Amino acid sequence: MLEFENISKSFDGPAGKIQVLNSISFSISAGELVSIQGPSGCGKTTLLLIAGGLLNPNDGKVLIDGKNPYQLGTNPRSRLRAEKVGFVFQQFYLVPYLSVLENVLAPSLAKNARNIKSRAHQLIDHFNLRHRINHVPNQLSTGECQRTALARALLNEPKIILADEPTGNLDDENGKVVLDCLAEFAENGGAVLVVTHDSRVSEFAHKEIKLIDGAIV
């Protein structure tokens, strides 16, 4: 479902090139939840952005359900992301002036889908957000913001979820809600990649990968 073949990434810095990732290779199959762990600055988020077709690697190849996003033009790459990938971030990235319903529906702008509003309402009910449906993000609790972000990620029925510290801002109760959701997604045949410092993810992960200095150890 998601494959990395010898992925390397560097950035130009004041003192020369900074090597962030060095020949990363692994794969995630349908039904798997994989966690990436390691210290801050080890390349975890860079790897996640490359996985989602958002950051071109210097070397190597990424395959999203068999397709290399970096061999596609801008519009086809955007369509591939919309159809195959859902993103969940620690900072939520909800649109501040949109309601819960409107934020959940936001990905539908990139994909034509029938009955999309009905699915949005189903997800809002699933995440117990019905009483917040017309509220904007600054009227929500932290847990409600993350549940809204999860509903948004699932709207287009992706095959892959990429999650960057999805429990980082949450208490134990809300963190478990998020991890239960990601585990359920994998159990139903999805593929999940979680970048995390949270040791609780180990209870749900099928594979754990540790990065240090941009390499798998």
Q: What are the residue ranges in the chain where pLDDT is below 70?
A: 109-114
- What pLDDT is stored for residue 48 in this prediction? 93
Other Cβ atoms closer than 10 A to 131: 10
- What pLDDT is stored for residue 137 in this prediction? 95
- What pLDDT is stored for residue 89 in this prediction? 86
The strand pairing partners of 33, in sequence order, are 192
> Residues 114-127: pLDDT tens digits?
688 899 999 999 99
- What pLDDT is stored for residue 76 in this prediction? 92
The strand pairing partners of 67, in sequence order, are 64
d(CA 99, CA 128): 15
Q: What pTM, to 2 d.p., does this model score?
A: 0.90
> Residues 28-60: pLDDT tens digits?
999 999 999 988 888 999 999 999 999 999 999
Q: Which domains does the chain have, with CATH numbers?
A: 2-216 (3.40.50.300)
Amino acid at 107: P
- What pLDDT is stored for residue 113 in this prediction? 61
d(CA 185, CA 43): 25
